[in-house]
Amino acid sequence: MTAMSTLAEEFWQWREATRPDSFDDVCRVRRPSAWVPDWSAAAVEDRRRVLAGFAGRYSALEDYGAPVADQVDRLLVGSALARVHWELNLLRDWQRNPGFYLDQSLGPVVNLLLPPPPFTEIRAQSLVDCLQRVPAVLAAAEENLAGHAAAPFARCALLLLEKASEQLATAMAALAPLLPTAQQRVLQKRTAAACSALTSFRIWLGDRLSTFATATSVGAEAFDFFLHRVALLPYPVEHLRWMGRQEYQRSTAAELIMRARHRRSAPAPLIADVAQQVSRQREDESGVRAFCCRRGLVDLPDDLPHYRNAAMPAYLEPLSWLCVPHHLPSPGCPAGDALRYIRAPREDLPYFELAEARDPRVGIAHEGVHAWQAALSSRHPNPVRRHYYDSAANEGIAFANEEALLTAGLFDNLPESSLFVLNAMRLRSLRVEIDIGLALGELTIETAADRLATSVAMDRRTAWEEAVHFAGHPGQGLSYQTGKQQVLDLMTACAHDRPDTFDLADFHIDLWSDGNVPISLRRWELLGLSDHVDRARTLGAGEGPPVPA
């Protein structure tokens, strides 16, 4: 093994045990056996110490004259190390965001609920062990947040904590009959202790709310570090903002034209019930895969796992606010179909769920692509490329595919679905300005939520959830539009570079197989152009993590 591959292997082994849990599904990580969360002050300092060692080893790597693929692998490791620095030292969710500790305490429990049954002895023991850690994680939260927490994040966490104890108790009561006898015996006691800790944390936050800071933004310098040294984006902030505005205008115009075209069309009815939606989605998923092949968009391998809907389990539903309810393949567990857990179709479902309850294909066009891309990437012969680095590549691929399917005519038989895809395009272009505004302190969570709800006709619940999530995860909101623009730019450049041999289906299967790799790096590999990598390096004043003095 080379020094670089050894560093990558050791880093990812460490990262799987220390990465923060998140609401998002794309960056979800598979934990080592017998793992439990630890966010004590000592554990945070240990993370910093280990990061410093990795950063020193990274800075000593030499790739002068190495093949481009090897240089790309090195930059991937640099991006991953830079993300750890971003999380620990710049974003500092562990010090500033009380909601972070809902993800770190309850998130590990929820993640173990996402794979389908059975609950084996090993899985059940991991679950009760993580449940047992909830009080310790929340005690660490109080220590770490004291004197540092941001009041807007605390208010959001307090809203979520209002029913958290009751929801956890309900979920665990539904789970108990599915567990082996040994874990059933301790579940009730550990659930009670976790519920008590959640109540104590809520009281602690409420008592100290008036003492917390008012600002949530990370600021321009930290945001630039993320954009250019983590995400490896070649665009300055104001150019990203301009791109978002241009796309918002284009997608708004396209939606207006589509509405005029279908002004006499009747609204699509809701699917009757969960069973029918699961059945229809199963048929539609195979149909979308066949459509992609017929239209020459992408030809997925026959043995690639599928993307399925399943009824929301009673043990998951009360805690589903903690996650995107998807079970996706991961580098450590690539086999099996991906699952999206769904609720009964009804008119008051949130924005995306409501659209899927009318036409499952709108979910397949985006979330299904995440599942297919994750499955393809998990098969990559190079272990470095099986891991998540930044959302822009993954979300850009899925978003570009949505528009490709719309253009290719997938939704022509159901105008309301075409309109939804265009409306979602508006949403994702608007997210760019929302993301930037929150990161730079130009918007509050409340004003961001209002803008989302009024500009895209989104339900208030989803708008508020999006604003809270993007305020706590700068750079994630803009990843959809920015990543799509990079994908389209790369597609165009490749078609121009080899006009006689370019094949769209081959382009997509190659792109998706390397779907975790930032697009600026794929541009270098496919076209021999390092200009976007060089620009990101210039804008970020370097690459990888800072090396401690």
Write the DSSP symbol of residue 319: G
Residue 292 pLDDT > 80: yes
- Mean pLDDT for the chain? 96
Query: How far, in Å, are 214, 389, 491, 501 from residue 527 at the CA level?
Result: 47, 21, 11, 14
pLDDT at res. 380: 97
The pair phi, psi for residue 396, each rounded to 5°, is -65, -40
- Per residue in 318-372, pLDDT tens? 999 999 999 986 665 556 899 999 999 999 999 999 999 999 999 999 999 999 9
- Per residue in 81-137, pLDDT tens? 999 999 999 999 999 999 999 999 999 999 999 999 999 999 999 999 999 999 999
pLDDT at res. 396: 99
CB within 8 Å of 249: residues ≥ 6 apart = none
pLDDT at res. 21: 97
Q: Number of helices and strands (H, E) in the chain?
A: 25, 3
Mean pLDDT of 389-395: 98
- pLDDT band at residue 530 using 50, 70 and 90 as cut-offs: very high
Residue 76 pLDDT > 70: yes
- Give every strand in the sheet of 307-311, ordered side by side: 307-311, 338-342, 326-327
Query: How far, in Å, are 131, 133, 201, 236 from residue 105 at the CA level?
Result: 8, 7, 11, 36
Mean pLDDT of 40-51: 98
pTM above 0.85, yes or no: yes
Write the DSSP symbol of residue 473: S
- pLDDT band at residue 495 using 50, 70 and 90 as cut-offs: very high
pLDDT at res. 267: 87
Residue 549 pLDDT > 70: no
Mean pLDDT of 276-299: 99
Query: How far, in Å, are 172, 215, 402, 414 from residue 466 at the CA level?
Result: 27, 18, 20, 27
The pair phi, psi for residue 310, each rounded to 5°, is -145, 155
Q: How far apart are CA 212 and CA 160, in angstroms?
A: 18
Residue 282 pLDDT > 90: yes
Domain boundaries along the sequence of the chain: 3-222
Burial class (CB in 10 A: 0-12, 13-18, 19+), 29: buried
Q: What angle do CA 285, 290, 295 make, to 5 degrees?
A: 125
Mean pLDDT of 294-309: 98
pLDDT at res. 333: 58
Strand, helix or coil for residue 281? helix
Percent of the chain topping pLDDT 90: 93
